[in-house]
């Protein structure tokens, strides 16, 4: 079965719905991780944000991929609250800026969108790779996508990016937190996987899962 080469506005909306479900389902896992070094509410915050996005996706129609991403960014920033809401909002809003004018997204477009999302999140929060944040999952995923060099299969490319995101999240166990409440623990924050990096890796994995060829009986062009 041929792989998926690109997502239309309609299938991009469907992908975001699947991603919302994956993030909502991860509530307990994310709260448990956050409880080791934070206040234990990351899963609740993520659930609240992606439930709000899901509601907007189910009730609205969107003229472009940029409009979808802009809605998601605005909704997450408004509904999640705390420090993480603006960061997740920046990831999606940055991607929306890069998606201006796009009616379909291929591997190259995904790389550009996530690259801009990463840039905006780093500018807003001041975090960099190694600070034990969601940047540690997003950065290697972006690097993987940008290195695809002509790969046309979205499922394959996003699958590799998801693997890198998961590895990045797992690597936070060996890092000392420099952002958020966990930074006050210093070296005691080591040994525990960062909840924000984990939720970001779940998001990328859900996108990859949506683009698996078995989900489609044809290759949208």
pLDDT, tens only, 135-164: 999 999 999 999 987 778 999 999 999 999
pLDDT at 179: 56
> Could you tell me the two tokens for 111?
């790389």
- Orientation of helix 107-125 relative to helix 84-98, angle to 10°: 140
DSSP H or E run through 186: none
Q: Taking each helix axis as running N to C, give the angle between helix 9-25 and helix 65-80, from 0 to 180 degrees, rounded to the nearest 10.
A: 20
Residue 39 has pLDDT above 90, yes or no: no
This prediction's pTM: 0.90
Cβ(140)–Cβ(187) under 8 Å?
A: no
Say if residues 141 and 95 touch (Cβ distance below 8 Å).
no
Tens of pLDDT, residue by residue over 65-101, are 999 999 999 999 999 988 899 999 999 999 999 999 8
Residue 175, classified by CB atoms within 10 Å of its CB into exposed (0-12), middle (13-18) or buried (19+), is buried
């Amino acid at each position: 079965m041929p792989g998926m080469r690109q997502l239309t506005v309609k299938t991009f909306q469907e992908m975001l719905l699947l991603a919302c479900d994956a993030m909502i389902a991860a509530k307990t896992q994310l709260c448990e991780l956050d409880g080791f070094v934070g206040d234990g509410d990351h899963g609740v915050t993520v659930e609240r944000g992606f439930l709000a996005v899901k509601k907007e996706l189910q009730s609205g129609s969107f003229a472009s991929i940029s409009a979808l991403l802009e809605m998601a960014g605005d909704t997450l920033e408004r509904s999640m609250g705390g420090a993480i809401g603006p960061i997740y909002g920046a990831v999606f809003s940055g991607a929306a800026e890069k998606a201006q004018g796009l009616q379909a997204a291929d591997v190259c477009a995904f790389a550009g969108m996530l690259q801009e999302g990463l840039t905006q999140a780093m500018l807003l929060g001041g975090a960099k790779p190694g600070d034990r944040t969601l940047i540690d999952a997003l950065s290697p995923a972006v690097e993987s996508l940008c290195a695809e060099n002509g790969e046309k299969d979205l499922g394959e490319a996003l699958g590799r990016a998801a693997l890198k995101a998961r590895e990045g999240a797992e690597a936070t166990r060996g890092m000392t937190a420099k952002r958020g409440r966990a930074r006050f623990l210093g070296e005691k924050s080591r040994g525990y996987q960062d909840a924000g990096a984990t939720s970001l890796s779940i998001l990328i994995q859900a996108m990859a899962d949506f683009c698996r060829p078995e989900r489609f009986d044809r290759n949208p062009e």
